[in-house]
Structure 1
Amino acid sequence: MRAPSLPHHPAVVVGGGQAGLSASHHLKRHGIDHVVFERNRIAHAWRSQRWDAFCLVTPNWQCQLPDFPYAGPEPHGFMPRDEIVAYVEAFARHIDAPLREGVAVERVSRRNGVFLVETSEGAVTADAVILAVSAYHLPNTPRMSESVPDAIVQIHSSAYRNPQQLPEGAVLVVGSGQSGCQIAEDLHLAGRKVHLVVGSAPRCPRFYRGRDAVDWLDDLGQYDMTVEQHPLGEKVRRNANHYLTGRDGGRDIDLRRFAAEGMVLHGRLTGIDDGSLTLADDLARNLDAADAVYNGICGLIDRHIADNAIAAPEGTHYEPVWQPGEPARRLDLAASGIGSIVWSTGFRSDWSWVDLPLLDENGYPSHRRGVTGVDGVYVVGMPWLWTWGSGRFLSVGRDAGFVVDHLAARGRDRAAPVPARLAV
């Protein structure tokens, strides 16, 4: 029995981004009383962890929050940062979410058959908890950054805003995922000398055979492929996203073309000592692998067009416009004129505030389609929660609808079973 002095809700949602707000929409649809706690402000990550020139890499038509699809004049455009924030804020107003901004959830535990949710403004109890906090909690900067000379400015990609923010001199960007490549492009277009450490992230065409590649991939059902149908299974959750951009109406990101224009590309960073970087001999291999994925996507689209007799312009597969020479295995930061480093090295998860047997051996919430092994606890808004579209505006509402339907059924019948197969 819950403590009578504490407010109680049938459901508590932790996180007020698009995932938590989608959960709130579906809870309202079921008539379930709830509260949404948001540590910061609505759309905090979009607002505060994106650079000035940031825009979506998926077209606007994929913004499909529940009963609130994109309704603007450019369905095939790419919303910039401030418009994304406005879209999420408008959704919150549309659903009239019971949102508590500026209230941090500090601990979630279970006491006497109910969940105790301790916040910065006091505790509440709940019959069910939906964790809508994604998996990107703490900026991940490798320990080797501690060996960088003090004179060099270092920031994580989440703190990057524009080229003027960084001191004069060349800029080293470490990491070639979506953020790293787009930040490198932002600096390159501003005329800055850029060194880019290239990893294993794949690339994707922006437009191919008369349409955005995303449109073709959607027709092919790629965004509806479930984690259980994917050849990699749960391992796909650790894959890097394909790099491309929606900037200036959308285009490919071609690192080889940047190199031909003066950007300096390097293999993976393996160490830092005495003011110098140690680099792996894998630049050519990483570029070739990214191009192979690019052309593989083109080939997939080609087969779809041929199999369905679709009238479409002819397409050309990518041919490298630049090849790396003998790789440099050491890079002296001072001699190269590098005055700053942008660490585009992702984020770490932090579930330490969830005092429940929720995590697997890798520290990842064990779940199947958002239903965890802890009865009454759900996750939503995580990459590949169920499909490729799960971490996007496209499918986060559908995922939230599934977990709330399960939550509602549990409320009607507390014996509602946890799905048999839990993702690990």
Structure 2
Amino acid sequence: MRAQSSSKVINPDRRQLLRSAAMGIAAAAAASLFPAHLAPAATSDDIHPFRINVPEEALIDLRSRINATRWPEQETVADESQGVQLATLRDLARYWATDYDWRKIEAKLNALPQFITEIDGLDIHFLHVRSRHENALPLIVTHGWPGSIIEQLKIIDPLTNPTAHGASASDAFHIVIPSVPGYGFSGKPATSGWGPSRVARAWVQLMKRLGYTRFVAQGGDIGALISNAMAEQAPPELLGIHTNFPGTIPPDITKALQSGEMPSGLSADEQRAFDQVKDFRAKHFAYAAMMATRPQTLYGLADSPVGLAAWILDHGDGDAQPAAAITSAVLGRTINGHSAGDVTRDDVLDDITLYWLTNTAISAARFYWENKGMSALNAVDISIPAAVSVFPGEIYQAPRSWTERAYRKLIHYNKVDRGGHFAAWEQPQLFAEEVRTGFRPLRKSI
């Protein structure tokens, strides 16, 4: 970051704070935490540097709990149709307890500018990485479940430093990656009401607090719900959104899915999408139904690291998205054509360990209760500019016909040839190019 930056979208009085954090000047005063206790802001507008420092005792306890796991008997089938196979989870647990090193991801996160601020009575943790390129477009990116800010780390450099990745300086972004309330290092809501709409309003306030008067938003999974909510609220500062998990299913199709009827008059793409969503609801939706109705009952996720790992690895049947990429990474092989892409076994354990150390499995699950699950796929009604990328390993491939009806000012629609539900994690370069292309028409607005 440079004090002399002539960016039109950040207020001068924020530059000193941001520059100091990036240079590490404020590191000595940064907040230290475990497992998720955050230093309170002096006033609701204050922004404080933030640093992760997990005590070694917590990591020793984690390894002890893994080693003390009471294992069930082996599954009675030869495939993954009953869930995560015993041999798979035993092997992962052995590696987690003996070879995995949390300190690597802790150091990686601490090398980035991290901050904490209070919005609407709740502490919000976020990464804020500014591009060195002038007139970069401010972008807020929201992770999904069971993801976290770790899910987005591989796209930071391609988006903030595009010239190092074969793109133009005119495609640069200033990037803000917050932890959703109840996730990671953000505060846990103590009352109900923190659904997509409230988080969307908090994100707008966050961007304005950082001094950004014009910005765009991106999201997949629950991040798409939040980005869609921002677009539906249409604050004047929001230029447009990009999503890789669009809400496009028309009301009549939703009704047919709920009743079991077979709709008529569908195109080939629409029929394929209908079949994909029908299959997902029938075979892979149990995890979402549980979190959308009874999240507090999931005590085992807070008590057993291996139970948490199994839930995150296989919130379906192990063969289908959204679990395929992370399961493929753990197994080190492609599952039914679903590759892990750039996701590694350590990436997966970084994410699971973050949930464990912050004890956020249940607080994160409550977001589903706030949103009631499957509405994530239902058609939105968005009139501000929107870009949509359709990845082949997603839960369903949204047809262009449905997408144009849901996102009425569609500025980009593309079917990508690789990647799945965790697109930024799996295919960071492809994902970054989709974001650059999708938002390119809006740059003249800043």
Using the size of structure 1 for normalisation, the TM-score is: 0.26
Name the structure, 1 or 2, with higher relative contact order (CA <8 Å, separation 6+): 1
Q: Which is greater in Rg?
A: 1
Higher strand proportion (structure 1 or 2):
1
